[in-house]
Amino acid sequence: MLRTILTVSLLSTVMMAQPIDRTKPPETPALPAFKLPPLHEFTLTNGLPVVLIEDTRLPMVTLRLAFQAGSKYDPAGHPGLSEAVSRLLTEGTASRPARELAEEITGLGGAISASSNADHLMVAASGLSENLDKLVELTADIVRNANFPKDEVELYQQNRKQELQAQRAQAAYLASEKFNEVVFGQHPYARRSPTPESIDATSTETLAAFRDKHLMPNNAVLVLLGNLPPRAQVRKMLETRFGDWKKGTAPKLTASAPPKPKRSITVVNRPGSVQADIQMGRLGLTRTQDGYFPLVVGNTILGGGASSRLFNDIREKRGFAYSVGSGHAALAEAGVFRSVMQVRNEVVEPAIEAMTEHLAAMGKERVSADELSNVKNYLSGTFVMSLETQAGMAGQVVSTKALGLPNSYLETYTTRIRATEPDQIQAIARQVMSPESISIVVVGDAKSILPAVEKFGEVDVSEARD
C-alpha cells in the first residue's frame, strides 16, 4: 500500500512539473463518422409514407407529420393562409372542442403543435410510449377534422393583426421583407407573412378549403421515433388511425422562377430612425446543388457567430454595429444568402464599405488553415449534437424526407463538411458573395442616410408600409 501511494505521489509530482502551453487550445480529437440508426420505411394503403426509428433510451415517443403545404402554396391574394391553418389546427375538431382537446393532450403527458414555414406545414407531437396509440389518434383527428371554430378564428385575427403591427414596427422585419421581395421577385418565397387584409379574409371556410386541398396522406410524410412497440403492431395501429383517410390529387406548385441575381440598392424610408438596418445578399443554393457544403463552411467563416470575420471586424474592431453576421437558408426551390447588420446613421457608408470588402475577400483570398479547421469542428460538432435528442433526430429525418433527399444526406453531412477545401470556398464565394451581383437593402431615415447609400450606386427608394 505504501509503495502504491509513493508511486502515485511521484507521478503527480512529475506531471505537475511539466509545463503547460496555455497559448494553444487542446487538440480536438476527430469526430467519428455519424451513423443513422436503422430506418424502417413503408407506405400505408392510402399512400402515406412512414418512417419508424427505434430509440429505447427513454419511455418516450416523438412524432412529426410534414405536408407539402407551406407558405409558397398560399393562394394568390391570401398570404399567410398556411400559417393561419397551422395555428388553428389544434383549436378544436368536429368531435373535440378546443378545451377538451387540450385537456386530453395534457392528460397524456404529451404535447401537440403545428407550424408552417416556406415549404412545409408540420405537425409535431410527443408523449409517453404507453400513450402512443392515443397520441396518434389525436394527431389524426387534428389533421383530418379540425373545424376552425368561428370564435377561435376571430381571436386569431385579432391577435395576429396586433402581432403584425408589432413586427412592422421593427426595422429588421421591414428589411427582411423588402430583401425577400427584391431577391425572389414574383416567386412565392417573396411573401411569407400575412397582410391586414389577408388576415381579415381568413375564415372557417378558407381554412377548411386549404386543409382539404393540401393536407392529404399522399402529400405528407410521417416520422415516428422512440420506444416503439413491435413494427407490425405499429403498422396496424397506423392503418387503423389513418387508413380510411382518403388520398387525393396533390396540387403542384406553379410559380415564376426567381429573377437572376443582379446588383441593386434599395432604401426603405423609415422617418425618424436613428440607425439603419442593412441586408446584403442574393440567391444561394439548395442542398442538392454543387457547392452547397463549401457555401455552408464559407458562410460560417464569414459571419456565422462570435468567432466570424464580420463579428470580429465590424463589431469588435471598428465598433460599427452591435449585431452583425451572415446566413444561408436552403429552401426546396432555392437558397438565399444574406449578411446583416444594424448600424448608426453616421457610419452607414463605412459599414457598407466594410461589409462589401469582406464579401469580396471571400472570393479573392484563401481562408486560413485555423479558420477552416475551427469551423469544420464547430459545424460537425453542432450537427451531431442536434441529433442527440428525439426531437432533433425526428426533425432532421422528416425534413430530409420532405425535401426528397436521400438517407445518406444525414450520414455524409459531417464527412462533406470536413472534405471542404479552401479553393472550393473561394469558387462558391465568387459566385454567391460577389459584390457585383448582390442586392443591398437599407431601412432607415432616408433624409439622413440616402447621401451615404447613393455613393454605392443608383438607389430605389420606397416607403415603409404600415
Domain ranges of the chain: 39-242, 264-463
Residue 4 has pLDDT above 50, yes or no: no
DSSP letters, 342-368, are: EEEGGGHHHHHHHHHHHHHHHHHSPPP
Which CATH code is given to the segment(s) 39-242? 3.30.830.10
CA distance 29 to 105: 44
Mean pLDDT value across residues 19-25: 66
Sheet holding 275-283, edge to edge: 321-330, 335-344, 275-283, 439-444, 264-269, 460-463
Residue 136 has pLDDT above 90, yes or no: yes
For the chain, helix, strand, coil in percent to 5 are: 50, 20, 30
Which CATH code is given to the segment(s) 264-463? 3.30.830.10
Residue 13 has pLDDT above 70, yes or no: no
Mean pLDDT value across residues 385-412: 94
Q: Enter the DSSP assignment of 131.
A: G
Residue 438 has pLDDT above 90, yes or no: yes
Tally of CA atoms within 13 A in the half-sphere of 67 that contains its CB: 29
In terms of Cα–Cα distance, which of 294, 280, 310, 315 is closest to 379?
Answer: 294
Residue 12 has pLDDT above 60, yes or no: no
Task: Determine contact, residues 410/287, Cβ cutoff 8 Å.
Answer: no
CA distance 258 to 252: 17
pLDDT in tens, 243-256: 999 999 988 888 88
pLDDT in tens, 287-330: 999 999 999 999 999 999 899 999 999 999 999 999 999 999 99
Q: To which residue does cell 383549436 refer? A: 91
Task: Determine contact, residues 303/310, Cβ cutoff 8 Å.
Answer: yes
CA distance 41 to 183: 38
Residue type, 120: H
Contacts 24+ apart (CB under 8 A), 397-401: 397/39, 397/51, 397/53, 397/64, 397/223, 397/225, 398/51, 398/64, 398/65, 398/66, 398/122, 398/221, 398/223, 399/66, 399/120, 401/49, 401/51, 401/66, 401/221, 401/223
Q: CA end-to-end span of the chain, whole Å?
A: 81
